[in-house]
């Protein structure tokens, strides 16, 4: 494949060079001014339509362009915030004076994401949203990436200040693998994670020209995984945007739950671009951010054990407490752990140490008789009285004990552009980013020094491109916080060898002595034996809380405390050791050095076939994932090597416009991944234009999602479960056929009955256990039906609305199963007790297809209205919901993590009465919703309580243009009401930000 790519590039270079012939040159020059202000406009683009050749105006608004393009041809004069003007050139033109009018109304944008060709946003065959430079300048959000959540239908999941995930149309996630993010045509995903890490390794706002969001399936043109949406970011060309640009931004962040509530943040960026003779151009850029991050401080009890819930469970009252953002609190069931099974607290030949303790402890006050001798009860009967059927968890650590909240982000960008002739431009581009942040997956991962580099070579013409790029991911000093907390506890006191035996032993010893003392006291007071036994049992029950507290104190004696040298030494050792560790201890380090290699081309036949007859494009791509986690994340093959994954695809699209009223488009794509059967993705659409301002559209398309690299090959043992890939090799590796696995729901019911009624209920409880079935593992497919309307009425009212309906076939969700550490069979009832204790069982989570079709639907409407004086008021509302939710199998986790309704309202003016003062106010709100993920405790029967509360925010900014120094001064704030909110389970609470920024643009142009 690499040879084919090399030959293709060489062929195109030679073809482009030989196509350069000595043609007559045409010279164009002139001046561009502002019609309203009458001043010269610098940085205005003058480009020949259908070519790559063009230039920009200088500081005086003048320009000069020489071209070999045969006349007649059309030039387009464009500038940010101005209406585009076009002129037909029939020969030399040296007096072209252009006056540009300000463009204040929406609906005039040109988009490329919907069809891979330029078209009016009003006539796009599917839903598409576009943000441009003026949007970035006027948003009150602290960054352009934050501004995406103001788009209708967009949900944002904030895992830290610098790591946020964009979600659309439901099925949201912290790392969203259903939305593809492209930067200048490069898939911006971290290949070992299969999702984009926000904008950590993306583009600086100074170098960003536009963002297009395509909600819904886009697989017909963009291939795998663009099943819920496509985010296309385009950087500035150094030919069109020249000179020096820079900004400095500073302010404060405030949240009442942080260690220090109010802290400063700093953000700065620099960009320089220069073109020489309209032939060669380059650009370089750097941006850096530093701040104290938002903190995750949800300490509610998500164990749901021992009868407690999120609302009432605490470390003080629940011995099985498991705080959402507290890590290292591994648990075990006291009764199951002590009674047989060869686990902590178990003696030789499967006879419980506690039973032995009860049978042999001689009581001096009772004439050295044992308690069974004294009471006439058997050791097992006394065991059942003294030992409660409770889950016990270790004492964990707060996230703030394990994570350094110093967030940083450094981005470096550069590109070389060379125009081989008027038709072809060569581009060599590099984007590199590094940062320290926290993100939420199956764990809360602390990422220190994460690095992502993207390097691209591209040949681009007006009707084709061919590009090759690689994405290089390096995880840096990253670790999983839950595993780190567990590892620190294990480094101090091993759970199986020391901590649980100490806890259980202390409890049993003290309970035994207390019970015996109460029994003897009652007998001594003249009570009958039965009354004395009842009094002793009542006393034992009354002392349970004290016994649990004293037992924890005994087991925790000498525990490593945050801030101590012992704690820091253990943290450093566990954090440096790769997952899962070795015989010498637990490892929490997350290693990933996975690379992505991608090559693709597209060709538009517009020069060979008259577009008025039909517009035809074709394209193809090849991709390879080279997995490399040094065995910490991905499984190895029989040779000890991690896997490569290859996939390829090809597509074609034809469109026809009839009488400038009806546009019909059809697309078809074929894709093949080496581990799965081929996928075919069609798209059919129609756009009907009525009275030139009303555009009605309808479409059908099929999208698909290849299981991610992790879903295919992950093999990671986390505190809550072992995450394994869905490929058949893992069922074989973990002996699912020889050692049966049981559904989580049946194990929960089994454990609940035992906890309620004790060991006597075991025969009845066995009937609740059910072995897990294998529903299959294939790529997820979606069939999307959509209708929509876009209209620009009276050049004042812009309306955009849509309704969609999705049918997900082979929907990919997660299945959780439980397996005994030794084979469990219903024929051996005692063996089934392994299933209810974390120390005696294995829990596996792996992706599977739903046995039923999952359906969802939604709608959205956005309205913008231009008021007198260029005031703009706008708003949007969107809704997403599951259809036939009751038909989804019980226990199948869809992760449909989205509110049913969300709203946005805005009011602003970019230029108040021509003063250069602008402002914008944005209000955003959403309803509460259920969050499902591998980080939330999906083992618990009460998981329906994992609700993300409703919230609303108010953001605002005011800005002033300072033309004399080509700058904009901006003051703003987000979440001005100051009420903390979270956007997904276990993630930090987001507070308020207040900032001031000064941006210089196109100096030294």
Give per-residue pLDDT as tens, 640-671: 999 999 999 999 999 999 998 999 999 999 99
Per-residue burial over 324-363, b if 16 or more Cβ lie within 10 Å, else e, is bbbbbbbbbbbbbbbbbbebbbbeeeeebbbbebbbeeeb
Phi and psi, residue 850, nearest 5°: -70, 145
Q: Stretch 454-472: mean pLDDT, rounded?
A: 96
Phi and psi, residue 253, nearest 5°: -115, 140
Question: E strands within 794-933?
Answer: 797-809, 812-820, 841-849, 854-866, 872-883, 901-909, 917-926, 929-930
- Decide the pairing of beta strands 841-849 and 722-724: parallel
Helix, strand and coil percent figures for the chain, each rounded to 5: 20, 45, 35
Give per-residue pLDDT as tens, 380-406: 888 888 888 888 999 999 999 999 999
Count of beta carbons in the 10 Å neighbourhood of residue 738 = 8
pLDDT of res. 311 = 85
Share of the chain above pLDDT 70, in %: 93
Please tell me the pTM assigned to this model.
Answer: 0.88
pLDDT of res. 725 = 94
**pLDDT band (50, 70, 90) for residue 891:** low
Distance between CA 273 and CA 455 in Å, rounded?
19
Count of beta carbons in the 10 Å neighbourhood of residue 631 = 16
Give per-residue pLDDT as tens, 484-527: 999 999 999 998 888 988 898 889 889 988 998 999 999 889 89
Distance between CA 512 and CA 379 in Å, rounded?
11
**Positive or negative torsion for Cα 670, 671, 672, 677:** negative
Tokens of 771: 């072995």
> 54 has which bridge partners?
47
**pLDDT band (50, 70, 90) for residue 338:** low
Q: Is 404 left (phi over 0), alpha (psi -120 to 50) or beta?
A: beta
Q: Which of 179-188, 838-847, 952-961 has the lowest mean pLDDT?
A: 838-847
Give per-residue pLDDT as tens, 571-616: 999 999 988 888 888 899 988 999 999 999 999 999 899 988 999 9
CB 849 within 8 A of CB 779: no
Q: Stretch 537-558: mean pLDDT, rounded?
A: 93
pLDDT of res. 401 = 96
Q: Which of 659-668, 813-822, 883-892 has the lowest mean pLDDT?
A: 883-892
Give per-residue pLDDT as tens, 780-797: 999 999 999 999 998 899
Evaluate the omega torsion of the peptide bond into residue 680 and state whether it is cis, within 30 degrees of 0: no
Give per-residue pLDDT as tens, 258-283: 999 999 999 999 999 999 988 999 99
Which spans in 258-343 are helix H? 334-338
Please, which residues have CB within 8 angstroms of residue 560's CB and are 6 or more apart in sequence?
488, 491, 492, 566, 567, 570
pLDDT of res. 355 = 78
pLDDT of res. 114 = 67
pLDDT at 345 over 60: no
Phi and psi, residue 924, nearest 5°: -135, 140
- Name the residue with higher pLDDT: 11 or 911: 911
Task: Name the nearest CA neighbour of 775 among 740, 744, 737, 811.
Answer: 811
pLDDT of res. 347 = 33
Count of beta carbons in the 10 Å neighbourhood of residue 62 = 14
pLDDT at 866 over 70: yes
């Amino acid at each position: 494949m690499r040879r084919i790519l090399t030959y293709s590039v060489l062929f195109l270079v030679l073809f482009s060079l030989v196509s350069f012939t000595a043609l007559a040159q045409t010279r164009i020059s002139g001046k561009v001014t502002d019609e309203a202000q009458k001043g010269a406009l610098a940085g205005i683009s003058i480009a020949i339509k259908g070519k790559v050749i063009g230039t920009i105006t200088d500081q005086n608004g003048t320009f000069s362009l020489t071209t070999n393009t045969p006349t007649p041809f059309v030039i387009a004069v464009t500038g940010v915030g101005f209406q585009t003007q076009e002129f037909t050139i029939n020969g030399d033109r040296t007096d072209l004076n252009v006056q540009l009018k300000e463009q204040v109304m929406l609906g005039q944008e040109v988009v490329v994401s919907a069809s891979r060709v330029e078209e009016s946003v009003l006539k796009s065959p599917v839903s598409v949203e576009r943000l441009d430079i003026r949007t970035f300048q006027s948003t009150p959000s602290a960054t352009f990436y934050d501004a995406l959540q103001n788009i209708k239908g967009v949900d944002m999941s904030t895992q830290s200040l610098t790591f946020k995930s964009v979600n659309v149309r439901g099925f949201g996630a912290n790392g969203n693998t259903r939305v593809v993010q492209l930067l200048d045509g490069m898939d911006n995903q971290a290949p070992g994670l299969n999702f984009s890490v926000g904008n950590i390794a993306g583009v600086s706002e100074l170098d960003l020209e536009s963002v297009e969001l395509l909600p819904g399936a886009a697989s017909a043109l963009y291939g795998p995984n663009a099943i819920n949406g496509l985010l296309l970011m385009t950087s500035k060309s150094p030919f069109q945007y020249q000179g020096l640009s820079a900004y400095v931004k500073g302010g404060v962040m405030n949240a009442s739950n942080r260690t220090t509530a109010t802290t400063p943040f700093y953000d700065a960026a620099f960009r320089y671009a220069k073109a020489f003779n309209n032939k060669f151009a380059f650009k370089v850029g750097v941006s850096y951010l530093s701040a104290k991050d938002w903190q995750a401080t949800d300490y509610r009890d998500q164990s749901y054990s021992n009868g407690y819930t999120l609302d009432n469970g605490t470390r003080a009252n629940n011995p099985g407490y498991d705080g959402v953002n507290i890590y290292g609190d591994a648990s075990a069931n006291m009764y199951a752990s002590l009674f047989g099974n060869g686990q902590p607290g178990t003696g030789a030949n499967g006879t419980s140490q506690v039973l032995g303790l009860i049978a042999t402890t001689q009581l001096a006050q009772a004439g050295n008789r044992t308690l069974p001798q004294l009471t006439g009860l058997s050791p097992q009967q006394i065991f059942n009285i003294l030992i409660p059927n409770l889950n016990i968890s270790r004492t964990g650590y707060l996230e703030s004990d394990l994570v350094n909240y110093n967030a940083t982000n450094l981005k470096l960008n550069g590109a070389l552009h060379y125009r081989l002739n008027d038709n072809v431009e060569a581009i060599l581009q590099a984007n590199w980013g590094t940062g320290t942040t926290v993100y939420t997956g199956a764990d809360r991962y602390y990422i220190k020094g994460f690095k992502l580099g993207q390097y691209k070579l591209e040949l681009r013409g007006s009707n084709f491109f061919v590009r090759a790029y690689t994405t290089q991911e390096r995880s840096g000093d990253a670790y999983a916080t839950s595993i780190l907390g567990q590892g620190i506890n294990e480094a101090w006191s091993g759970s199986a060898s020391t901590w649980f035996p100490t806890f259980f032993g202390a409890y049993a010893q003290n309970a035994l002595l207390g019970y015996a003392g109460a029994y003897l006291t009652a007998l001594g007071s003249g009570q009958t034996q039965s009354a004395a036994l009842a009094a002793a049992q009542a006393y034992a029950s009354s002392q349970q809380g004290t016994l649990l507290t004293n037992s924890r104190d005994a087991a925790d004696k000498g525990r490593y405390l945050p801030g101590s040298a012992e704690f820091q030494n253990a943290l450093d050792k566990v954090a440096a050791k790769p997952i899962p560790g070795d015989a010498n201890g637990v490892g929490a380090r997350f290693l990933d050095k996975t690379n992505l290699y991608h090559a693709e081309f597209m060709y538009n036949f517009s020069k060979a076939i008259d577009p008025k007859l039909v517009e035809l494009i074709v394209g193809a791509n090849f991709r390879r994932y080279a997995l490399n986690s040094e065995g910490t994340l991905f499984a190895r093959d029989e040779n000890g090597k991690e896997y490569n994954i290859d996939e390829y695809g090809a597509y074609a699209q034809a469109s026809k416009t009839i009488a400038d009223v009806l546009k019909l488009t059809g697309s078809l794509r074929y894709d093949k991944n080496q581990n799965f059967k081929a996928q075919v993705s069609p798209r059919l659409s129609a756009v009907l234009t009525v009275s030139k301002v009303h555009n009605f559209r309808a479409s059908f398309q099929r999208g698909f999602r290849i299981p991610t690299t992790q879903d295919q090959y992950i093999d990671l043992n986390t505190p809550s479960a072992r995450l394994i890939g869905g490929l058949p090799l893992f069922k074989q590796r973990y002996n699912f056929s020889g050692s049966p696995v049981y559904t989580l729901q049946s194990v929960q019911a089994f454990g609940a009955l035992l906890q309620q009624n004790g060991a006597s209920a075991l025969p009845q409880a066995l009937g609740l256990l059910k072995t897990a079935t294998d529903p299959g593992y294939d790529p997820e497919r979606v069939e999307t039906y959509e209708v929509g309307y876009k209209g620009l009425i009276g050049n004042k009212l812009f309306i955009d609305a849509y309704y969609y309906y999705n049918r997900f076939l082979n929907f990919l969700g997660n299945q959780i199963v439980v397996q005994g550490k030794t084979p469990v069979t219903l024929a051996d009832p005692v063996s089934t007790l392994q299933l209810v204790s974390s120390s005696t069982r294995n829990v596996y989570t792996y992706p599977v297809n739903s046995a039923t079709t999952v359906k969802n639907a939604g709608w959205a409407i956005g309205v913008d209205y231009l008021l007198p004086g260029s005031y703009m008021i706008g708003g949007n509302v969107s809704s997403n919901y599951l259809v036939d939710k009751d038909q989804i199998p019980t226990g199948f986790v869809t992760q449909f993590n989205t509110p049913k309704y969300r709203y946005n309202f805005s009011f602003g003016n970019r230029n108040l009465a021509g003063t250069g003062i602008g402002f914008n106010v944005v209000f955003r709100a959403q309803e509460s919703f259920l969050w499902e993920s591998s980080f939330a405790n999906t083992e618990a029967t009460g998981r329906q309580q994992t609700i993300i509360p409703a919230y609303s925010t108010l953001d605002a900014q005011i800005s002033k243009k300072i033309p004399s120094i080509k700058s904009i001064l901006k003051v703003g704030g987000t979440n001005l009401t100051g009420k903390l909110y979270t956007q997904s389970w276990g993630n930090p609470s987001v507070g308020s930000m207040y900032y001031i920024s000064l941006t210089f643009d196109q100096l030294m142009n």
